[in-house]
Amino acid sequence: MSALTDLTIAGARDALRAGDTSAVALTEAHLEAAEAAGALNAFVHHTPDLAREQARAADARLERGDAPAMCGIPIGVKDLFCTKGVPSQAASRILDGFRPEYESTVTDKLFTSGAVMLGKLNMDEFAMGSSNETSTYGAAVNPWRAGNSDAALTPGGSSGGSAAAVAARLCLGATGTDTGGSIRQPAALTGTVGIKPTYGRVSRWGIVAFASSLDQAGPMTRNVRDAAIMLGAMAGHDPKDSTSAELPVPDFEAMLTGDIRGQVIGIPREYRIDGMPDEVEAHWQDGIAMLRDAGAEIRDISLPHTKYALPAYYVIAPAEASSNLARYDGVRFGRRAALSQGDGVTEMYEKTRAEGFGAEVQRRIMVGTYVLSAGFYDAYYNRARKVRALIKRDFEEAFASGIDAILTPATPSPAFELGAMAEADPIEMYLQDVFTVTVNLAGLPGIALPTGQDRRGLPLGLQLIGRPWEEGALLNAAQCLEDRAGFVAQPEKWW
């Protein structure tokens, strides 16, 4: 058998059930890989004792023949998920030392199905960023390098540690969250697969909130089948999240036939943006050809409000964040600033939040505060919510006209160098999400998967967008594209 760290989730599951390996052996191999990958800064809290305990329990279940698909599978968990007794900081200084007394619904479900947690993964602070550079732990590093250059590249963000860890074979899968593209953009930049489910498919309970009407958790894996397996273990109704949908979770893996003959794939003309590199456009055309060859009907469509998605997002997301992040006040959890003689409770709030939040988080909280303030609420916040309704309507009309799924580029560029945006206007970084943010605003499922490489060998990804609640069909279209693209490249180990 090849190295245990080269297995997929499906392969590991089958090997475990056949008795070819054990959860303990699989876990040890991954703990070793994670421990040795400090240069990637993907894992920010290691939990080897918990992992070994969970692995032993998984082996006992396997022996009893009571082993769900994720049983014994070593995973990493984004630092945004609250994990009982384990540091959960949302990559923020303000949550220094925070150890939740409870378990998020997603990690609880994964653990109930037997998954093994290796540790917590790096991310942008409070999931605000597209390069992992806003993390209090320092940036995670992409295992991929461009050609012969040894420059450190971003793994994307905000789920950058998750993407880097999966791409570098430190874990078989990882949890991510996606508010504007935070699963799909890092997946595209690291040659991995990431799906943001329909809003309401996965419980948000116990996940540190950024923008509650947009946040969804999803799996990040090395192929589509693994994404289907892991999503099945994460999804489902949860009474503790009032927006969680009371719908049965289908067997996503069983829906992967790779056959999409007769399906109609929409190609939205508004996703051809100014300044998009030729390689990205050519890569999109390749994807279109692959789906056509597979028997799909390709149809040009229009989603006319696309260009207003990012501006609407940068009103709605900061507005919700300013409200959600009001709870970090130095009273109930996390870190309180040192106070001077005579400081009252207001100084405590102001100093704690100034020291505890990084620059980007402060900026977004204040933008949100401004757009919600008296006199501007209608002009900014209500207008943005109306535009959001129009963006959603664009998709509804496309689906009503017979479109089954929509194919777009995943990102406007491949991975860029860490530090490249240091002097840039914040808007330039926001443009990373130009193809993904529409999907969050409309609450739809979207998946990014690797389908090629640029001339320097960096992975390029495409995004498929599906109908609400039809993740199974979406995963199947992604399976078809994966089969056709035959992406097998791996980053060369340098760490």
Nearer to another protein, 271 or 357 (CB): 357
Structure tokens given for 263: 């399906």
x/- mask, another protein, residues 290-309, rule CB under 8 A, reads ---------------x-xx-
Taking the complex as a whole, the smallest distance from the CB of residue 389 to another protein amounts, in Å, to: 4
Q: Per CB under 8 A, does 151 bind another protein? A: no
Q: Per CB under 8 A, does 76 bind another protein? A: no
Measured distance CA(1)–CA(76) in Å, rounded: 23
Q: Per CB under 8 A, does 389 bind another protein? A: yes
x/- mask, another protein, residues 310-329, rule CB under 8 A, reads xxx-xx------x---x--x
Instruction: Report CA-CA distances (Å) from 140 to 18, 44, 93, 483.
Output: 36, 9, 16, 30
Q: Per CB under 8 A, does 348 bind another protein? A: yes
Structure tokens given for 118: 């290796």
Nearer to another protein, 225 or 388 (CB): 388
Taking the complex as a whole, the smallest distance from the CB of residue 200 to another protein amounts, in Å, to: 6
| Active-site residue, 182 included | yes
Task: Select from 290, 301, 365, 448 the one that contacts another protein (CB under 8 A).
Answer: 365
Task: Select from 38, 302, 331, 401 the one that contacts another protein (CB under 8 A).
Answer: 331
Q: According to CB under 8 A, which residues from 81 to 100 bind another protein?
A: 97-100
Task: Select from 180, 218, 268, 334 the one that contacts another protein (CB under 8 A).
Answer: 334
x/- mask, another protein, residues 197-226, rule CB under 8 A, reads -xxx------------x-------------
The owner of tokens 């999409």 is 260
Structure tokens given for 132: 């992992």
Q: Which of 104, 113, 131, 158 is catalytic?
A: 158
Task: Select from 285, 345, 402, 494 the one that contacts another protein (CB under 8 A).
Answer: 345
Q: Per CB under 8 A, does 332 bind another protein? A: yes
Nearer to another protein, 202 or 296 (CB): 202
Q: Which of 22, 182, 244, 322 is catalytic?
A: 182
Q: How many residues bind another protein (CB under 8 A)?
A: 72
Nearer to another protein, 382 or 401 (CB): 382
Measured distance CA(176)–CA(131) in Å, rounded: 14
Burial of 335 per CB tally in 10 Å (0-12, 13-18, 19+):
middle
Nearer to another protein, 368 or 461 (CB): 368
Nearer to another protein, 149 or 373 (CB): 373
Task: Select from 344, 400, 422, 488 the one that contacts another protein (CB under 8 A).
Answer: 344
Point out which span in 152-160, 180-188, 339-347, 455-463 binds another protein (CB under 8 A): 339-347
x/- mask, another protein, residues 14-43, rule CB under 8 A, reads ------------------------------
Q: Per CB under 8 A, does 490 bind another protein? A: no
Measured distance CA(256)–CA(402) in Å, rounded: 21
Q: Per CB under 8 A, does 45 bind another protein? A: no
Q: According to CB under 8 A, which residues from 412 to 451 bind another protein?
A: 425-427, 430, 441-443
- What would the 3-class secondary structure string for the chain be? CCCHHHCCHHHHHHHHHHCCCCHHHHHHHHHHHHHCCHHHCCEEEECHHHHHHHHHHHHHHHHHCCCCCCCCCEEEEECCECECCECCCCCCHHHCCCCCCCCCHHHHHHHHCCCEEEEEECCCHHHCCCCCCCCCCCCCCCCCCCCCCCCCECCCCCCHHHHHHHHCCCCCEEEEEECCCCCHHHHHHHCCEEEECCCCCCCCCCECCCCCCCCEEEEEECCHHHHHHHHHHHCCCCCCCCCCCCCCCCCCHHHCCCCCCCCEEEEEHHHCCCCCCHHHHHHHHHHHHHHHHCCCEEEEECCCCHHHHHHHHHHHHHHHHHHHHHHCCCCCCCCCCCCCCCCCHHHHHHHHHHHHCCHHHHHHHHHHHHHHCCCCHHHHHHHHHHHHHHHHHHHHHHHHCCCCEEEEECCCCCCCECCCCCCCCHHHHHHHHCCCHHHHHHCCCEEEEEEEECCCCCEEEEEEEECCCCHHHHHHHHHHHHHHHCCCCCCCCCC
Cβ distance 126 to 92 under 8 Å?
Answer: yes
Task: Select from 373, 396, 401, 419 the one that contacts another protein (CB under 8 A).
Answer: 373
Taking the complex as a whole, the smallest distance from the CB of residue 375 to another protein amounts, in Å, to: 10
Q: According to CB under 8 A, which residues from 447 to 486 bind another protein?
A: 468
Nearer to another protein, 299 or 383 (CB): 383
Q: Per CB under 8 A, does 70 bind another protein? A: no
| Active-site residue, 373 included | no
Taking the complex as a whole, the smallest distance from the CB of residue 242 to another protein amounts, in Å, to: 5
Cβ distance 16 to 138 under 8 Å?
Answer: no
Nearer to another protein, 101 or 423 (CB): 101
Nearer to another protein, 36 or 389 (CB): 389
Q: Per CB under 8 A, does 333 bind another protein? A: yes
Burial 7-33 (b: 16+ CB within 10 A, else e): bbbbbbbebbeeeebbbbbbbbbbbeb
Nearer to another protein, 213 or 490 (CB): 213
Taking the complex as a whole, the smallest distance from the CB of residue 441 to another protein amounts, in Å, to: 8
Task: Select from 43, 126, 210, 357 the one that contacts another protein (CB under 8 A).
Answer: 357
Give catalytic residues, as residue numbers. Answer: 78, 158, 182
